[in-house]
Amino acid sequence: MAIDTVCGMEVDEKKARFSTVDNGKKYYFCSKNCYEKFQNNPLKYVNKKIIKSSEKDKLNLQNKDNVQKKIELKKEDINKNLIEEERPLAEKKKIKVKDNEFVINVKDYLRAKDIEILEVLSERKRDFEARIRIDTMLGKQEFYLMAKDKKTVSDNDFAVALQKAQSKKMLAAVMATGSLNKKGKEHLEQWGNLVKYEKLKF
Ligand SMILES: [Zn+2]
Most confident among 21-25, 39-43, 159-163 (mean pLDDT): 159-163
pLDDT band, residue 154 (cuts 50/70/90):
very high
CATH no., domain 102-199: 3.40.1350.10
Give the Å distance between the CA of 31 and the centre of ligand 1: 5
Confirm if 147 and 186 have CB atoms less than 8 A apart. no
Give me the pLDDT at residue 202, please: 84
pLDDT, average across residues 165-179: 93
Give me the pLDDT at residue 95, please: 47
Is residue 80 over pLDDT 60?
no
Between residues 71 and 15, the one the model is more confident about: 15
Give the Å distance between the CA of 25 and the centre of ligand 1: 17
Give the Å distance between the CA of 129 and the centre of ligand 1: 89
- 58-74 per-position pLDDT tens digit: 656 666 666 666 666 66
Give the Å distance between the CA of 52 and the centre of ligand 1: 18
Q: Which of 4-13, 76-85, 88-97, 179-188 has the lowest mean pLDDT?
A: 88-97
Is residue 96 over pLDDT 50?
no
